[in-house]
Structure 1
Amino acid sequence: MAYQFEADEDPDAGVRRIVRERIDDAMKQLDRTGDKQHKGIHEARKRCKEIRAVLRLTRRPLGAHYRGENEAFRDVARGLASSRDAQAVVEAWDALRDRFGECLATDGDGIRQGLVARRDALLAETGDIGASLESAREALSQARARIAEWPEIPGFPDLAAGAARCYRRGEARLRDAQRGPSIEVLHEWRKRVKDYWYHTCLLRGVWPGIMTAWQRELKALSDCLGDDHDLMVLRSALLAEPERYGGDDRLTVPLMHMGQRQEELRAEAFRLGRRLYSESAEAYQRRLAGWWDLWRDDCQQQY
């Protein structure tokens, strides 16, 4: 089933179903091999992030269980991060080449070859990827078994409060980013935007037309911040070892275009952010609670 609550299930059943389905899919993704392995690892890490967003919705009713579960899924994603992060730098270069075309054509293949060599070297340093994958599978299997031990989630008000808490944190990180958009501050804001996006996906059913539009704009904001982050990591990689990529002279034009692209991405991110965080967290919580009640009433009337 989709990553969203269904009208015919209560919040407790919905949370458990969604988390189990995300775990099952993560384990399936980890079974990919060959050229598809990088993609599978990326998708498995996304499933862990989706699960952590569900946990943040249910933080209050989960009580003492929350911290341990959140850390467990965080650790699974971190254990797979080196593979994904090394590949993301290559993908950031490819995206830059796609955008600026001939402006980066001169010696661009040499830079990409250097980035691929860097990726392969980093992966070699991490040791046996098979061991990392097996460790992730075991941790996911144990986490799935623990779901039955979670306390009952009494109703939607707890979930609405969890969503509002994450929204409030996103508001604060937006203000931080506007004051000083460092790599750390922007990364923290992006994590909160991802929560907001995931929660909108989970609650899409309460008003599909509105929530789908909201979901689309949040995805655009998350992508802007993600692309900006990848470019910052790419810049750091190039500047750390310029000789690997042909020396400082060869990097002058690419670095200039990276800066230009980051300015574009941040301008769009702040434009979207001001709109998506334009209401108070209290108003956001009331809106979700009201729409949920109306949705459930409509469902009951149909049956």
Structure 2
Amino acid sequence: MAYKFRIGESAGDGIRRMARQQIDKALDEIADGELDQHATVHQVRKRCKKVRALLRLARGDLDAAGKIYQRENVCFRDAARRLSNVRDAQAMLETCDKLKETVSSQSDLQHLRDLRDELEARMRNPSLREDDLDERLDAFAVTFREARIRVDAWPVGDGFGSLAPGLKKNYRQGRNAMRKAARKPGTAHFHDWRKRVKYHLYHIQVLAPSWKHVLKPWQDEIKRLGDDLGDEHDLAVFTQMLAQNPGDFCSRANHDALQELSRQRRTQLQIRTLSLGQRVFAEKPKPLTNRLRAYWAASLSGSA
């Protein structure tokens, strides 16, 4: 079943249904023997983000009912964090591959090939593997099974009013994070903005059926922004890895060349994301929320 509201579905029913589906998909992926561990980690961490986006969307009702939002958000956040170092290792390989696509110098290409070979060798080295990954995935599955039982009791109302506060709050946070990143570019500010963009993407994705011809193209642009911010963040981690281990992966000359390549690409991505972000976050939070509320209401009356 798709990660989106069905036309005519109540807010509460949709939130709970989508949360259960994401949990079930994560459990299936952990049990799937055909997926390698790195692919499994990537997928189940994505499920956590999608569930947390639903929690943020329904935060108004969940906050009103007590500490349900806080409890569940911490649950899914911590579950994903326990697998973060595994995903970081794979992300560094992907960053090398993406950097190779942006350079033309043969010497720079060779530096990246050499670094990638070294990173891949380390991942395959039995002495450097995550020996407890199977146990961590098993623990993740236990956490998800317990969380699934609680989902049915999430007190989310029927109408758009149950979604509006969370939608508006995250969007406002995204606008503010973008402004901070523009005023003072840096890893922390761009990373915070990236998280808000990702949640906004999922919010628009689940609401898109209310007027898919308008919201689907917008969703695609938000995804493009999120992908670029993800690449920018991976480059920040990549740069930090090199800085903390200057002699572990390559010579000093290669190290300096790779740092400069990363710096240049990050600058390009920061300029590009801020330009696109001004369009994605052009609308103020209240008008945006009211517009999406109107789409939701129109879809119920058969006008979508």
Check whether the contact 2:8–2:299 (CA below 8 A) recurs between aligned residues: no
Q: Which amino acid aligns with 1:74?
A: R
User: TM-score if structure 1 supplies the norm length?
Assistant: 0.93
**Post-superposition shift, 1:239?**
2.0
**Post-superposition shift, 1:121?**
7.0
Check whether the contact 1:7–1:205 (CA below 8 A) recurs between aligned residues: yes
> Which stretch of the first structure deviates more once superposed, 1-10 or 100-109?
100-109
Alpha-carbon separation, structure 1, partners of 2:174 and 2:113: 39
**Residue among 230, 240, 244 paired with 2:248:** 244
Instruction: Output one character per residue of 1:178-210: Cα deviation in whole Å (capped at 9) or x when no partner.
Output: 111111111001000011100010001011111
Q: Which amino acid aligns with 2:119?
A: L
Alpha-carbon separation, structure 2, partners of 1:187 and 1:42: 18
Q: In the TM superposition, what are the counterparts of 1:61-140 in structure 2 within 5 Å? A: 61-63=61-63, 64=66, 65-101=68-104, 102-119=106-123, 124=128, 126-140=130-144
User: TM-score if structure 2 supplies the norm length?
Assistant: 0.93
Instruction: Output one character per residue of 1:89-113: Cα deviation in whole Å (capped at 9) or x when no partner.
Output: 1111111113225352334332112
* Number of aligned residues: 300
Alpha-carbon separation, structure 2, partners of 1:247 and 1:33: 39
Q: Does 1:280 align with 2:284?
A: yes
Alpha-carbon separation, structure 1, partners of 2:24 and 2:293: 30
Runs of 4+ that moved beyond 3 A: 32-35, 117-127
**Post-superposition shift, 1:215?**
0.6
Alpha-carbon separation, structure 2, partners of 1:133 and 1:49: 16
Check whether the contact 1:82–1:123 (CA below 8 A) recurs between aligned residues: no
Q: Does 1:156 align with 2:160?
A: yes
| 3-state SS in 2 of match to 1:153 | coil
- In structure 2, relative to structure 1, the CA distance for the partners of 1:126 and 1:266 (3 Å cut) is same
> Which stretch of the first structure deviates more once superposed, 188-197 or 150-159?
150-159
**Post-superposition shift, 1:50?**
0.4
Q: Which amino acid aligns with 2:20?
A: R
Instruction: Output one character per residue of 1:40-66: Cα deviation in whole Å (capped at 9) or x when no partner.
Output: 210110011001000001111113211
Check whether the contact 1:167–1:281 (CA below 8 A) recurs between aligned residues: yes
Question: Please, what is the CA RMSD of the aligned residues?
Answer: 2.0
Q: Which runs of 5 or more residues in structure 2 are unaligned?
A: none
- In structure 2, relative to structure 1, the CA distance for the partners of 1:152 and 1:250 (3 Å cut) is closer
Check whether the contact 2:235–2:266 (CA below 8 A) recurs between aligned residues: yes
- In structure 2, relative to structure 1, the CA distance for the partners of 1:193 and 1:152 (3 Å cut) is closer
User: Which structure has the highest helix share of the two?
Assistant: 1
Q: Which amino acid aligns with 2:53?
A: A
- In structure 2, relative to structure 1, the CA distance for the partners of 1:82 and 1:294 (3 Å cut) is same
Check whether the contact 1:190–1:225 (CA below 8 A) recurs between aligned residues: yes
Give the share of equivalent positions with the same residue, in percent. 34
Q: Does 1:25 align with 2:25?
A: yes
